[in-house]
Amino acid sequence: MKRAYKVKTIRNKIAACAENNFEATRAKEVSFIMVAKGVLGFRESAHIVKVGEDTGCSISIASGKKFGTTKSILSLVNLAIMPGKSLVLNIKGERNEEAFREVSKIIGGETDGNS
């Protein structure tokens, strides 16, 4: 009787899943290798965090053995990014193109981080 109950329960779960039409969605993830043309300080790090929040993307930057994400401004500042330093930029989210344009402007030194 215990086995019959298990089989019945499993069949009900499968039938319930078959009734729901789940559309598989996967967040877009892109990675880029860049060379910094500007210094990444507190102001620029805060702007990168703001870009991540506005676009709904998770942004991470790796430089050498150090790694920083948009979850912590200090982790980005701790990267000590100076002009000429190579970076690996990883952006995960639906609006990753927009986030990349903004972050590349900041790292490229085209903006001061206030806008």
Instruction: Count the domains in the chain.
Output: 1
Say what the pTM is: 0.71
> Alpha-carbon distance 114 to 43, whole Å?
7
> Alpha-carbon distance 102 to 96, whole Å?
10
Q: Is residue 12 part of a domain?
A: no
> Alpha-carbon distance 49 to 20, whole Å?
37
Residue 88: give its domain's CATH number.
3.30.1340.10
Q: Is residue 45 part of a domain?
A: yes
Q: Is residue 2 part of a domain?
A: no
Domain around 87: 29-107
- Two structure tokens written together for 22: 């789940």
Neighbouring CB atoms inside 10 A of 115's CB total 8
pLDDT digit string, tens, across residues 30-85: 888 999 888 888 999 999 999 999 999 999 999 989 999 999 999 999 998 889 99
Q: Is residue 56 part of a domain?
A: yes
